[in-house]
Amino acid sequence: MEKSAQKIELWMEQLRRMREMQYAYHKKFFHGLYLFLVLVIGCLLWDSPVSLALVPLLVITAGTQSCFYLHFVDFARIHARFAEGRLNQALGKSTLVGSEIEDLYFYPVDAPKIGGFIPSAPLRFFSFFTLHWTLLWIGLAAFALWRLLPMMGPCGHHYLILLGLWGGLNFIYLAWFFYRKQASSALGQYLGKAH
């Protein structure tokens, strides 16, 4: 087999693997989202102090877990874009355009974002979807706190401080990590140097 044909075959295999990875983490994202939603609703229906105290923690964890899955989807998209570029270069035409279409239709994978919210494109559906779920999660956590805090008495103040610190730390880290794009930039640079 000719060397260029071998390279094309290897890049096609990489592209297939990245698209499978992208699909797998996309699927995990939605399964996780629904699992956390069922857990939160179950805790709200149980209506005990312990179950209500778990709701805000589950909400924070759901957000962080969702960002974890998005991180893998972005990795797969960046790597797929590289493989498509190599294949298009080898074929001498722009046959594979999946990455460009994803950038146009979903969100530009290189855009700074906070989780799935793109500040430069707040009206994109992906940003709206992220905002929708964020507000829903915050609403469920607020409802749990509204039910819980009267049961806690003076301890409620300490619980709110701990919860605010934990939620704030998670949000600050995720906003910092996704907005500065260091991991995706480093991956793009590495792939750009690869032959």
pLDDT tens column, 160-176: 999 999 999 999 999 89
Q: Is the pLDDT of residue 195 over 90?
A: no
Condensed to tens digits (0 to 9), the pLDDT of residues 140-161 reads: 999 999 999 999 999 999 999 9
| pTM for this model (two decimals) | 0.87
Long-range residue pairs from 118-123, CB within 8 A, at least 24 positions apart, any chain: 119/179
What's the token pair of residue 153? Answer: 């008495």
Q: Which residues, in sequence order, are CB contacts of 111 under 8 Å at separation 6+?
A: 118, 120, 121
Q: pLDDT tens digits, residue range 64-108?
A: 999 999 999 999 999 999 999 999 998 888 889 999 999 999 989
- Taking the C-alpha atoms of residue 117 and residue 141, their distance in angstroms, rounded to an integer, is 20
What pLDDT is stored for residue 194 in this prediction?
72
Q: Where are the domains of the chain?
A: 3-193
- Distance, in Å, from the CA atom of 125 to the CA atom of 130, rounded to the nearest integer, reads 8
